[in-house]
Structure 1
Amino acid sequence: MTDNGPRRRDDRGESHDERMDRNWNELLQELRVSQTGVQILAGFLLTLPFQQRFTQLGATTRTLYLVTVVVACVSTLLLVTPVVLHRALFRRHAKDTLVRAADRLARAGLGALGVTVSGVVTLVFTVVLGGWSGAVAGLLLLLALGASWWLLPRRLRART
Structure 2
Amino acid sequence: MSDPETGETAEQRLHRNFAELLQELRVAQTGVQILFAFLLTLPFSARFSALSGLQHWLYIAALVAAAVAAATIIAPVSFHRLVFRQGLKEEVVQVSSRLAQIGIFALMLAIIGAILLVVDVVAGLTWAVWLSSILGVLYLGLWYVLPAMHRFRKVLDD
TM-score tier, shorter chain, comes to over 0.9
- Residues 59-87 of structure 1 show CA distances to partners (whole Å, capped at 9, x for unaligned) of 10011001110110010000011001001
Match of 1:49 in 2: 43
1:19 is matched with: 13
Instruction: Give the alignment partner of residue 58 of structure 1, picking from 52, 62, 73.
Output: 52
Displacement after TM superposition at 1:159 (Å): 3.4
Could you tell me how far apart the structure 2 residues matched to 1:158 and 1:69 are? Answer: 34
Describe how 1:1-160 pairs up with structure 2 within 5 A. Answer: 8-10=1-3, 11-160=5-154
Which has the higher relative contact order, 1 or 2, with Cα contacts under 8 A spaced 6 or more apart?
A: 2
CA shift, 1:134, in A, is 1.1
Q: How many residues align structurally? A: 153
Report percent identity of matched pairs. 41
CA distance in 2 between counterparts of 1:53 and 1:147 reads 34
Q: Which amino acid aligns with 1:142?
A: G
CA drift at 1:120: 1.0
Deviations, residues 73-124 of structure 1 (Å, cap 9, x unaligned): 0100000110010011100010000000000000000000000110111011
CA RMSD across the alignment: 0.8
Residue 131 of structure 1 and its aligned partner are, at CA, apart by 1.1
CA–CA separation in structure 2 for the residues paired with 1:56 and 1:97: 48
Measured in 1, the distance between the counterparts of 2:45 and 2:130 equals: 25
Q: TM-score, normalised by structure 2?
A: 0.94
Q: Which runs of 5+ in 2 are unaligned?
A: none
SS where residue 86 of structure 2 aligns? coil
**Structure 1 unpaired stretches of 5+:** 1-7
1: CA distance, partners of 2:34 / 2:142: 21
Could you state the TM-score of these two structures normalised by the residue count of structure 1?
A: 0.93
